[in-house]
Each structure stands twice: as C-alpha cells, then as structure tokens.
C-alpha cells in the first residue's frame, strides 16, 4: 500500500488532466480566499501602518545586515521550528505542519508527473505521501482531542465545533480519507474505495474552499507578524509597548499548585 501511487491507479477511471485541473483549482481557491480575507480584515493595511508607526517610534537604527539576520533567525526559529510553542503543543504542531507539507508536495508531484497507468512512480513519493498523511493525522488528532485551549483549559467537550476549527478539522479529515481511500484501493475493495474517493474530494473542497472562513490564511500572516515583532524589538519601537521589567517574577506559592494550562 505505502509504495503504491494511488493517483496512478485512479487514472484508469479519471483522466490525468482532470486531476491536475483539480489541483490548480484548489490553488486558485486558496489564493482567492486569502485575497478576500486580506481585503475584508485589512491585515496587510494594518501591517504597513504598524511598520510606519514603528519607524517613527524607533530609538535605534538597525542596519540592513542586522535586519536580514533577524529575518533569517525568525524564519528558522518562529516559522520552521515554532519556538513560541513548548512541549506537547510544539510537537503536535510540527507533526501537523511538516506532515501536511510533505502530503501536499508529494500529491502534486505524483499527480503532475506520475498520474498515468504507464508511468513508473519512484517508491519514495508514495512512501512520503503516506508518511505525511500519518504525521498530519497524529499531530491533528492529538491537538484536537487533548491540546485545544477550549478543551484542555476551559473544559469544553472535544466534539464542540466552531468556525475557527474548520481548518484543522477539515485537514485531518482530508488526510484520514486519503489514507483510507489508498488502503481500500490497494486492497481492491470496490465500491467502498469509490465512496472514500468521493469523501476525499469533498473534504479537499471544504479545506481549500473554506480559506475565507477558516484559519488557513493565518499561515501566510504569521511569519510576517513574527518578523515585524522582532524588528520592532531591535529598533526599540517595541510595538509601542513598555520595556520589560527588570524585577524578578513574584507569583507567590499559588503558582506551584497546578501545571500551567491556561493559555
């Protein structure tokens, strides 16, 4: 199963060009949803205005070399390794993030390069495709059942779903349907594999078509916000916030009564 390209097998029933057109359509949905989200929430306008304000409030001059260094460090730390998170939340996030990237990249490679019955797919691509899906499921379900703030800290039931959950829920459901579809296809269980394929397609439509209503677009805003934050700390503007206190933290003995779970 894990060394079989499911899209190559699928080409017996669905033309390769149709699968490629579907991928292109999903990319268009992401771009359109992100643009509409930016227009509605005015995120880009906020970033530019905030940058201008920070420039006026700066107390130090940061050289171009230092700015480049800050950007590289921010990408390496905040983006690639999510250093702002800790412990289980960080592990779950990294599993989901890199699993999703692997799943999407290998899906595109297999659909655009090896989605015909005559093509020979290198085993590494379907292997990575299944591994990426498994990583996404592990990180996503771990987060969904145990690590969400409203579940872990506020005591809400895991089955409570709100609009903000659309991205993570549709993501793990999509990868789950993809894995099950691949298994049923490899096992030649006709009928059920068709049903899971339909569910896989529909879940992709929800995932990529729901960008405007979900937190999907936040993936594009977060790096920019992190870079702006570190640049503001370097030039002294500090986003118009007071300097950190040099006094030691004094929380009293009550802080030791329970582990910090209130995010």
Domain-wise residue ranges, the chain:
6-232
pTM, entire model = 0.81
Contact in structure between 8 and 121 (CB atoms under 8 Å)? yes
**CA gap 14, 116 in Å, rounded:** 10
pLDDT for residue 151: 60
* Closest by CA position to 204, among listed 179, 163, 171: 171
pLDDT for residue 236: 74
Contact in structure between 234 and 70 (CB atoms under 8 Å)? yes
Q: Which residues of the chain have pLDDT under 50?
A: 263
Half-sphere exposure of 124 (CA within 13 A, CB side): 2
What angle do the packed helices 166-186 and 192-209 form, to 10 degrees? 160
Neighbours of 233 (CB within 10 A): 14
pLDDT for residue 135: 96
**CA gap 193, 225 in Å, rounded:** 43
**CA gap 55, 231 in Å, rounded:** 10
pLDDT for residue 150: 58
Model pLDDT for residues 168-224, shown as the tens digit of each residue: 899 999 999 999 999 999 888 878 889 999 999 999 999 999 888 887 777 777 777
């Amino acid at each position: 199963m894990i060394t079989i390209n499911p899209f190559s097998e699928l080409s017996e029933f669905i033309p390769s060009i149709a699968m490629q057109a579907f991928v292109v359509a999903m990319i268009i949905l992401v771009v359109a949803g992100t643009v509409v989200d930016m227009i509605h929430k005015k995120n880009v306008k906020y970033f530019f205005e905030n940058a201008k304000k920070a420039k006026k409030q700066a107390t130090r001059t940061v050289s171009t070399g230092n700015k480049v260094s800050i950007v590289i460090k921010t990408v390496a730390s905040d983006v690639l390794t999510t250093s702002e998170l800790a412990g289980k939340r960080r592990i779950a996030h990294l599993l989901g993030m890199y699993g999703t990237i692997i799943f999407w990249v290998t899906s595109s490679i297999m659909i655009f390069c090896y989605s015909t019955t005559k093509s020979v797919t290198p085993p590494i691509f379907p292997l990575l495709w299944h591994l990426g899906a498994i990583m996404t499921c592990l990180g996503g379900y771990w987060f969904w059942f145990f690590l969400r703030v409203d579940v872990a800290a506020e005591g809400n039931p895991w089955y409570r779903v709100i609009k903000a959950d659309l991205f993570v829920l549709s993501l793990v459901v999509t990868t789950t349907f993809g894995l099950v579809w691949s298994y049923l296809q490899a096992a030649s269980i006709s009928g059920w594999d068709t049903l899971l394929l339909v569910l896989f397609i529909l879940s992709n439509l929800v995932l990529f078509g729901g960008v405007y209503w979900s937190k999907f677009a936040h993936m594009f805003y977060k790096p920019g916000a992190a870079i702006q934050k570190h640049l503001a700390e370097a030039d002294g503007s500090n986003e118009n916030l007071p300097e950190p206190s040099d006094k030691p933290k004094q929380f009293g003995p009550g802080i030791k009564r329970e582990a910090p779970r209130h995010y």
